């Protein structure tokens, strides 16, 4: 535990500082001692006036505000009850037990962190002497609390361990300390202890401590000299105050010197990856269901998750900053399952990810494997994926009491709009959006195709079954690669059991837990292949030439019941069209159990090869055109899209084909 006591002249300013944190959801009021009202009914004026009642009793004492911060190691698991007990014991020990005080728990740091606001003016107007209170009273009480509550001892640790105490996020607060000195201290500590490989990674670490390094503009003298400007950031991440040149800071942290760091530190990353992966896996096994939840759980392990988003809010990158092992690394460097595409897919469709199309479909997620089956390995274009999902067509009403039929008719209508080059498809039905909403963007898609030939044709049963065999082979290669990665990762962790015994044990557990997700996987794949091969062999050519129609229902099954072992290894997976829960439990996803003969089945389609014949003779001439229009549900937005739809020359676009 680390205690810091600062005296001031305006208690109202200290209260406002903490209340602003509460308003921003960066802090919460933990307790209020010496106040007549309940903590939940205390207003801002009530809090400030309680202190003013005392400070007015001794107008001659100008320094009458006390601001105390108590910092605990992130390994100290302290709930609100224990924190309140520790605060009472500490305030009693330093002679402030009978004084009114407010206790705020700050939530924007990686370790338990409290701020206490009080005054040193007693009820009789006398003043509590705070001169030397740190070494006279605070230090003995602090040590006693550490012993009695079995807390991490603050003294006697190396400088590398002390950095967690000294450099908590939001440490730099413009105006509170000398900016140049604070920046020099922070940058020196980051350069000495953290591992990073580029200026963006270096900046990501600095930003967790409210600082940033800005290179010179293109062609400027600063850029030519590889200089940098360092600034302190406010709580909104905006630079405040006058930036300071790198050449004016201790250690000369200019870009030329940082580039030497990039080369040297890049070599240290491989040895730190296994430990970070283990922590991430532990966080993922905590039943998190969203990126924000994942980020919150990671903070318990002293890890910052940096989420890169586009202007539209799409996630396109994830990075991890481990403040314990002092490494900054991109998720893609750890593996696809730790990158944006893997985690967003894992957490479900509620969050979108913008990634480049991966031509190596063997490494694509099993959760998106229906694209292989539907397109015989070619995959569907991402903007045509709505064919498998509910949508909104031009001629279909947006409100219908018979919801199931409505969805089906909208899907068929949207498909017809593409194959016949008429009408449009809308991604978000207008009826589902609140009137006047400016945050939800709806997009209409018009597709222009050749009038004399269909863009899509049905997938035959034979093509579907052959595509399943292709998928099974890719699944086999993918799982084999995953198991190889698990073994290599674990071997790296178990390399030196005598020097790193804890890491060795983590490696053993990592190997057992992760491989347990794939029991008998080779036999399961062979069993699935045998079912498909039997269907191809025993059925007639006429039967195989019929369109492939699969059941419409999508089921959600727990991967734990298929591959997992431990109770915290549960991953929910949606299985489309071909799986039943029983099949998935026996042989894994995409087990063939026959085609759909009842009503409401889904006919699978693929691109028509005849549609693209002749395109090689004139490759510059478009063979399909998509036109999109995005709008919001406001009077002006609806008026503009209606005006566009009515007056745009669609025939002229169609003539370009």
User: What pLDDT band is residue 286 in, cutting at 50, 70 and 90?
Assistant: confident
pLDDT for 602 beyond 60: yes
Q: Which residue has the tokens 């007693």?
A: 122
**3-state helix vs strand vs coil in the chain, percent to 5:** 45, 20, 35
- Return the structure tokens found at 338: 């730790």
pLDDT for 398 beyond 70: no
Kindly report the average pLDDT of the chain as a whole number.
Answer: 77
User: What pLDDT band is residue 392 in, cutting at 50, 70 and 90?
Assistant: very low
How many C-beta neighbours within 10 Å does residue 327 have? 24
More confident residue, 264 or 477: 477
C-alpha neighbours within 13 Å on the C-beta side of residue 343: 27
**pLDDT tens, residue by residue, 194-223:** 888 888 899 999 888 888 898 877 777 887
More confident residue, 385 or 489: 489
Angle at 16 between CA 133 and CA 59, to 5 degrees: 55
pLDDT of residue 538: 92
Q: Report the percent of the chain where pLDDT is more than 90.
A: 13
Q: Taking the CA atoms of the chain, what radius of gyration do you get in angstroms?
A: 31
Specify the pTM.
Answer: 0.36
pLDDT for 3 beyond 60: yes
- Return the structure tokens found at 349: 């469709």
**pLDDT tens, residue by residue, 608-637:** 888 888 777 887 888 888 889 999 999 999
pLDDT of residue 517: 79
More confident residue, 160 or 42: 42
pLDDT of residue 369: 33
Q: What is the mean pLDDT of residues 365-384?
A: 35
Spatial CA neighbour of 587 closest among 513, 526, 534, 535: 526
Classify strands 65-71 and 2-8 as parallel, antiparallel or unpaired. Answer: antiparallel
More confident residue, 598 or 104: 104
**pLDDT tens, residue by residue, 147-188:** 888 888 875 443 333 333 333 334 555 444 456 777 888 888
Walk me through the domains of the chain, giving residue ranges and CATH numbers.
2-156 (3.30.930.30), 179-266 (no CATH), 271-355 (no CATH), 389-458+618-654 (no CATH), 461-603 (no CATH)
- Return the structure tokens found at 135: 């070494």
**pLDDT tens, residue by residue, 400-439:** 333 444 444 444 555 666 766 667 878 788 888 888 888 7
Question: What is the H or E stretch that residue 526 is in?
Answer: helix 521-538
- Return the structure tokens found at 656: 């370009």
Give, rounded to a whole angstrom, the gap between the first and last alpha carbons of the chain. Answer: 72
């Amino acid at each position: 535990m680390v205690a810091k006591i600062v005296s001031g002249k305006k208690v109202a300013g200290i209260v406002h500082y903490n209340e602003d944190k509460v308003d921003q959801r960066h802090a919460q009021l933990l307790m209020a001692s010496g106040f007549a009202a309940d903590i939940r009914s205390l207003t801002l004026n009530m809090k400030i006036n309680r202190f003013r009642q005392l400070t007015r009793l001794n107008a001659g004492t100008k320094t009458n505000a006390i601001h105390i911060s108590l910092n605990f190691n992130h390994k100290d698991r302290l709930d609100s009850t224990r924190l309140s007990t520790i605060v009472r014991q500490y305030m009693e020990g330093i002679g402030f037990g009978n004084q009114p005080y407010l206790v705020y728990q700050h939530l924007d740091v990686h370790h338990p962190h409290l701020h206490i606001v009080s005054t040193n003016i007693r009820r009789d107007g006398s003043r509590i002497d705070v001169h030397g209170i740190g070494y006279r009273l605070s230090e003995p009480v602090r040590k006693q609390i550490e012993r009695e509550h079995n807390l991490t001892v603050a003294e006697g640790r190396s400088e590398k361990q002390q950095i967690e105490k000294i450099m908590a996020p939001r440490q730099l607060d413009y105006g509170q300390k000398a900016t140049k000195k604070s920046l020099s201290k922070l940058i020196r500590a980051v350069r000495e202890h953290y591992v990073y490989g580029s200026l963006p990674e270096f900046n990501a670490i600095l930003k967790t401590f409210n600082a940033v390094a800005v290179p010179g503009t293109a062609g400027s003298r600063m850029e030519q000299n590889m200089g940098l400007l360092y600034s302190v950031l406010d709580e909104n991440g905006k630079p405040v105050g006058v930036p300071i040149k790198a050449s004016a800071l201790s250690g000369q942290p200019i870009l030329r010197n940082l580039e030497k760091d990039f080369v040297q530190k890049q070599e240290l990353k491989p040895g730190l990856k296994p430990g970070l992966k283990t922590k991430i896996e532990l966080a993922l096994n905590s039943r998190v269901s969203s990126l924000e939840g994942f980020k919150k759980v990671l903070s318990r392990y002293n890890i910052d998750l940096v989420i890169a988003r586009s202007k539209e809010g799409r996630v396109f990158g994830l990075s991890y900053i481990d403040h314990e092992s002092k490494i900054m690394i991109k998720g893609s460097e750890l593996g696809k399952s730790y990158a944006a595409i893997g985690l967003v897919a894992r957490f479900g469709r509620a969050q979108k990810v913008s990634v480049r199309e991966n031509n190596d479909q063997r490494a694509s997620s099993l959760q998106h494997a229906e694209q292989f089956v539907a397109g015989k390995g070619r995959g569907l274009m991402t903007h045509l994926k709505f064919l498998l999902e509910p949508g909104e067509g031009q001629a279909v009403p947006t409100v219908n009491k018979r919801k199931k039929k409505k969805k089906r008719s909208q899907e068929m209508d949207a498909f017809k709009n593409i194959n016949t080059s008429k009408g449009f498809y809308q991604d978000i039905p207008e009826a589902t959006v609140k009137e006047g909403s400016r945050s939800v963007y709806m997009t209409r898609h018009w597709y222009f195709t050749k009038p004399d030939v269909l863009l899509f044709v049905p997938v035959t049963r034979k093509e579907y079954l052959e595509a399943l065999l292709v998928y099974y082979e890719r699944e086999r290669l993918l799982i084999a690669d995953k198991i190889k990665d698990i073994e290599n990762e674990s071997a790296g962790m178990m390399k030196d059991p005598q020097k790193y015994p804890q890491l060795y044990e983590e490696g053993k557990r990592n190997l057992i837990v992760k491989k347990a997700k794939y029991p008998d996987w080779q036999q399961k794949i062979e069993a699935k292949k045998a079912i498909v091969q039997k269907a191809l062999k025993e059925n007639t050519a006429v039967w195989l030439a019929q369109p492939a129609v699969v059941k419409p229902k999508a089921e959600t099954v727990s991967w734990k019941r298929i591959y997992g072992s431990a109770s915290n290894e549960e991953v929910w997976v949606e299985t489309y069209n071909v799986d039943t829960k029983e099949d998935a439990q026996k042989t894994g996803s995409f087990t063939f159990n026959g085609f759909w003969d009842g009503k409401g089945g889904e006919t699978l389609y693929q691109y028509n090869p005849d549609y693209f014949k002749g395109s090689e003779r004139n490759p510059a001439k478009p063979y399909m055109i998509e036109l999109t229009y995005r709008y919001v549900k406001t009077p002006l937005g609806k008026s503009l899209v209606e005006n566009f739809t009515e007056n745009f020359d669609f025939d002229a676009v169609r003539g370009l084909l």
